[in-house]
Chain A
Amino acid sequence: GNSVTQMEGPVTLSEEAFLTINCTYTATGYPSLFWYVQYPGEGLQLLLKATKADDKGSNKGFEATYRKETTSFHLEKGSVQVSDSAVYFCALKLTGGGNKLTFGTGTQLKVEL
């Protein structure tokens, strides 16, 4: 079946540190890949996406590259801020899959001064 595996959290970093949150997937066909972010007390919101192999999604300093050969979509940011503290979800959607998203378990990020 289709699944998404994320690194366990929480991840605690100092401000201005480099961030990597690993995400790998298993899917039949060619999925679109997403990163969603959930700030405390809020719903999920799209952070970035990539719809085909080698595409790079980017937003707010975050980047992720769709790697078909390693079935990965790792999230990176060069310098995190306290305001980036949130839970990050990796997700996939299959073409023709009825718009249904398969989410990973989420990774909590805490950024400290």
Chain B
Amino acid sequence: DAGVIQSPRHEVTEMGQEVTLRCKPISGHDYLFWYRQTMMRGLELLIYFNNNVPIDDSGMPEDRFSAKMPNASFSTLKIQPSEPRDSAVYFCASSLWELAGGREQYFGPGTRLTVT
């Protein structure tokens, strides 16, 4: 299995530009998570989906951020317009549901975003 795939791995953009991050979860997984990691704030959950439906987006910082999951094998996180404080590593993770709670999340390699 290829694992969770994220693209691009690195993105450098100017303030005000639109940024789109992409994620392909592990085939068959029904949960998908988007995280942001910074030195100041650590690892933050932004939003997660179950069967392509957004379940909890309370971690999305503001309206400039949006996420979609049009099908089970693809999700995007969009920032429009981008700002320097959005610079971070963005991770996508996927997992299978399990009632007992022991299922792990599998993380992608991350996208390092730099907004200048």
Give chain A's interface residues, CB within 8 Å of chain B: 31-32, 34, 36, 42-46, 49, 51, 89, 93-101, 103, 105-106
| Shortest distance between the CB of B92 and any CB in chain A (Å) | 9
Contact across chains for A49 and B42 when beta carbons are under 8 A apart: no
Chain B interface residue count, Cβ-Cβ cutoff 8 angstroms: 27
A95 to B99 Cα, complex, angstroms = 6
Would you mind naming 19 contact pairs between A and B with Cβ atoms under 8 Å apart?
A: A34-B104, A36-B107, A42-B109, A42-B110, A43-B4, A43-B93, A43-B108, A44-B43, A44-B93, A94-B101, A97-B101, A99-B48, A99-B103, A99-B105, A100-B45, A100-B48, A103-B43, A105-B42, A106-B42
Contact across chains for B43 and A51 when beta carbons are under 8 A apart: no
Q: A95 with B110: in contact, given A89-B43, A100-B45, A103-B43 (CB under 8 Å)?
A: no
Give the chain A neighbours of B108 by CB distance below 8 A. 43
Which residues of B from 79 to 116 have beta carbons under 8 Å from A? 91, 93, 95, 97-110
Chain B, Cβ-Cβ closest to A101: B105
Give chain B's interface residues, CB within 8 Å of chain A: 4, 31, 33, 42-43, 45, 48, 50, 55-56, 91, 93, 95, 97-110
Q: A46 with B91: in contact, given A96-B99, A100-B48 (CB under 8 Å)?
A: no
A102 to B45 Cα, complex, angstroms = 9
